[in-house]
A and B are shown apart, each in its own frame.
Chain A
Amino acid sequence: MKTYSNLTPEGTRDILFEQCRAQRKVQSRLSQVFSLRGYQEVMTPGLEYYDVFRLPGAAIPQQEMYKTTDNHGRLLVFRPDSTLPIARMAASRLQGRPKPLRLYYHQNVYRNRPDFSGRNDEAVQMGIELLGAGGLRADLEAITLAVSAMASCTQEFRLELGHARFSSALLNRLPLSSQQKEEIRATIEAKNYAALSELLDPLGDSPEVEAVKRLPRLFGGEEALEEAEAFCTDEETSQVLQYLKRLYGALRQLGLGEKLMVDLGLVQRNDYYTGIVFSAYVHNRGDAVLLGGRYDSLYGLFQCPMPAVGFGADLEALAALLPEEVKKQQVSLTVVHGEPGFEPEAQRLVSHLTDEGQMCEASLFDTLEEVKSYARAVKAEKLLAVGEEVREVEF
């Protein structure tokens, strides 16, 4: 029988040395950023009931979840996302705490992706949840934090702002069935201008139709916000636009002007977004590395209605942004060899040196010749032999 004893499952991989160091580095920088701003870390189980992720309006496609059963036959999934479990947790265990709640997490998520797509079924995510606060102050806080998190890894990134309600408000003004709306939503999402025109042409010419046609092109710098002004003839879209302008202005005051972009054609990437949505992009990465937004109706699904905003970043993508020298090990290594009969003394010297903060390995070889060749192979800085006295040995 074929065995897989020496392989990792598709979509997973081992992470070694430099990559581990880079990920830990990013993790500690982000923890620092989050905790100094009053966010406290939480962990949720790796296994959750399937039902947590099947709530109306916040469902994750069932084929993307890794499933198993418990010993009562109940369906479990390997955590596919952190926002929903944290909502479950906060709704049940943190109800009585003063709001707002500031939480952060660092945990793996699992998604069952198609074969041969360069898939990453296991991803490490770090992010925040800001619960029980709505409005500009909270949105500004979440975005500023996202920017600080990105900036702790690289200065070369762009942050994109959008709003989940803008396109849906425009779409709702058109006389369409829900099926047609879904088709139109998909073409806007794909920025498929031609197909969108085709779908809208039967509706004739009206300012509403014109506005939806322009939607996929309403992205870029501040000019996109100006251009959108012309289409905001009803209260909801004008409110959304005014809000985005205020937020944009506030972020520009923070000196983020050149990093900011807007996309008003962002149709809801995820059903649970109800307000601002934002994402961070970096060069040489085909996808956003950080995604976030506001989901004010999500906690209602857990019988604990409160506003919420949050984001998650892909730790591996951020780790890849660190310069090479950060990933390399920079400390020098001393190897300590105890001659026969002096093994305890050698261990004592190792302890002494490590207590002083030096990196030090005890030799596990019987002869000095073997230690020398080992020290050469691992590019040690120094080799000490412990006998009646301690002497440095050339190698």
Chain B
Amino acid sequence: MKPLRIALTKGRLEKATVELLERIGLDCSSLREKGRRLILPVGDGSLEAVLAKAPDVITYVEHGVCDLGVVGKDTIMEQGSRFFEILDLGFGRCGFALAVPKGVNFFEGYEGKTVASKYPNVSRRFFESRQMDVRIIKIEGSVELAPLLGLADGIVDIVETGATLKENGLEIAERISDISARLIVNSASMKLRKDEIEALAGSLEQAIREKV
């Protein structure tokens, strides 16, 4: 049988994912010392990992070239989902929020509002659920800059501690949703390799519960 292939999000979530895999007894030395290899064997050979940027993890899983993936809920919410999201891994916790210049009531008045965000889909859905017409501008870098420059009335962004917001004279107007890392599974893989996937998800779930 081919090994199950899992796509891991590089960067912020990578370390916590490797630690979790090690806690369930999988040898992750190849992930710790990657070298030049792109597909890395994990554990006893029943699992192999690739490292990818968060949106690519979703792409690989949706197309079924990876059976599983570890990715943040933020990316899932922005990219949409045609896969199974079977486990909340508990790490990488933060949240989406609408932030506005301190003291301003965003929801007041009849003038059309403008919001800057790295997450245009999340923003659009949020305002649609409020039945609000809001102009959304996609920004790639530090979104906090947009209200300071007068481009936007507010921002929709990931908020961890709120320190960056405060430094820039912004405050949270409303929390939109909580975010954490998720285990996602391709829908065909889930059907064709149920036992292996459920065994892996089961031991991950147990490891998460034991730590808490």
Q: A286-B63, A287-B64 are in contact. Are A281 and B87 (CB under 8 A)?
A: no
Contact of A191 among B86, B88, B192 (CB under 8 A): B86
The residue of chain A having its C-beta at the shortest distance from the C-beta of B88 within the complex is A194
Distance from A76 Cβ to chain B, minimum over Cβ atoms (Å): 28
Q: A160-B191, A219-B191 are in contact. Are A286 and B87 (CB under 8 A)?
A: no
Q: A286-B187, A286-B188, A287-B188 are in contact. Are A192 and B64 (CB under 8 A)?
A: no
B 47-67 binary contact with A (CB < 8 Å = 1; else 0): 000000000000101111100
Q: Do A286 and B191 touch across chains, with their CB atoms under 8 A apart? A: no
CA distance A192 to B182 in the complex (A): 10
Q: Do A286 and B85 touch across chains, with their CB atoms under 8 A apart? A: no
Q: Do A193 and B64 touch across chains, with their CB atoms under 8 A apart? A: no
In the complex, which residues of chain B have a beta carbon less than 8 angstroms from the beta carbon of A158?
A: 191-192
CA distance A219 to B192 in the complex (A): 11
Q: Say yes or no for B186: interface residue by CB 8 A criterion.
A: yes
Q: Do A263 and B84 touch across chains, with their CB atoms under 8 A apart? A: no
Q: Do A281 and B63 touch across chains, with their CB atoms under 8 A apart? A: no
- Provide the main secondary structure of the chain B interface: mixed
Q: Do B86 and A192 touch across chains, with their CB atoms under 8 A apart? A: yes
Q: Say yes or no for A330: interface residue by CB 8 A criterion.
A: no
Contact of A190 among B59, B65, B84, B189 (CB under 8 A): B84
CA distance A192 to B76 in the complex (A): 12
In the complex, which residues of chain A have a beta carbon less than 8 angstroms from the beta carbon of B81?
A: 190
Q: Say yes or no for A285: interface residue by CB 8 A criterion.
A: yes
Distance from B178 Cβ to chain A, minimum over Cβ atoms (Å): 10
Distance from A220 Cβ to chain B, minimum over Cβ atoms (Å): 5
In the complex, which residues of chain B have a beta carbon less than 8 angstroms from the beta carbon of A315?
A: none
In the complex, which residues of chain A have a beta carbon less than 8 angstroms from the beta carbon of B65?
A: 286
Distance from B50 Cβ to chain A, minimum over Cβ atoms (Å): 15
CA distance A37 to B191 in the complex (A): 30
In the complex, which residues of chain B have a beta carbon less than 8 angstroms from the beta carbon of A219?
A: 191, 194
Distance from B69 Cβ to chain A, minimum over Cβ atoms (Å): 12
Q: Do A191 and B190 touch across chains, with their CB atoms under 8 A apart? A: yes
Greatest chain B CB density within 10 A among A117, A190, A285 is at A190
Q: Say yes or no for A73: interface residue by CB 8 A criterion.
A: no
Greatest chain B CB density within 10 A among A158, A192, A286 is at A286
Distance from B33 Cβ to chain A, minimum over Cβ atoms (Å): 30
The residue of chain A having its C-beta at the shortest distance from the C-beta of B185 within the complex is A191
Interface residues in B140-196 (C-beta closer than 8 Å to A)? 185-192, 194
Distance from A189 Cβ to chain B, minimum over Cβ atoms (Å): 9
Q: Do B85 and A288 touch across chains, with their CB atoms under 8 A apart? A: no
A 278-310 binary contact with B (CB < 8 Å = 1; else 0): 000101111110000000000000000000000
CA distance A194 to B184 in the complex (A): 12
Kindly list 17 other residue pairs between chains A and B, CB separation below 8 angstroms, not including A191-B85, A191-B185, A192-B84.
Answer: A158-B191, A190-B81, A190-B84, A192-B86, A193-B87, A194-B87, A195-B88, A219-B191, A220-B194, A261-B191, A281-B191, A281-B192, A285-B64, A286-B61, A287-B187, A287-B188, A288-B188
Would you list the 7 A-B pairs with minimal beta carbon distance, nearest first? Answer: A286-B64, A191-B84, A194-B88, A192-B85, A190-B85, A281-B188, A286-B63
A selection of 11 A-B contacts at a CB cut-off of 8 Å is: A158-B191, A158-B192, A190-B84, A191-B84, A191-B190, A193-B87, A281-B191, A285-B188, A286-B188, A286-B189, A287-B188
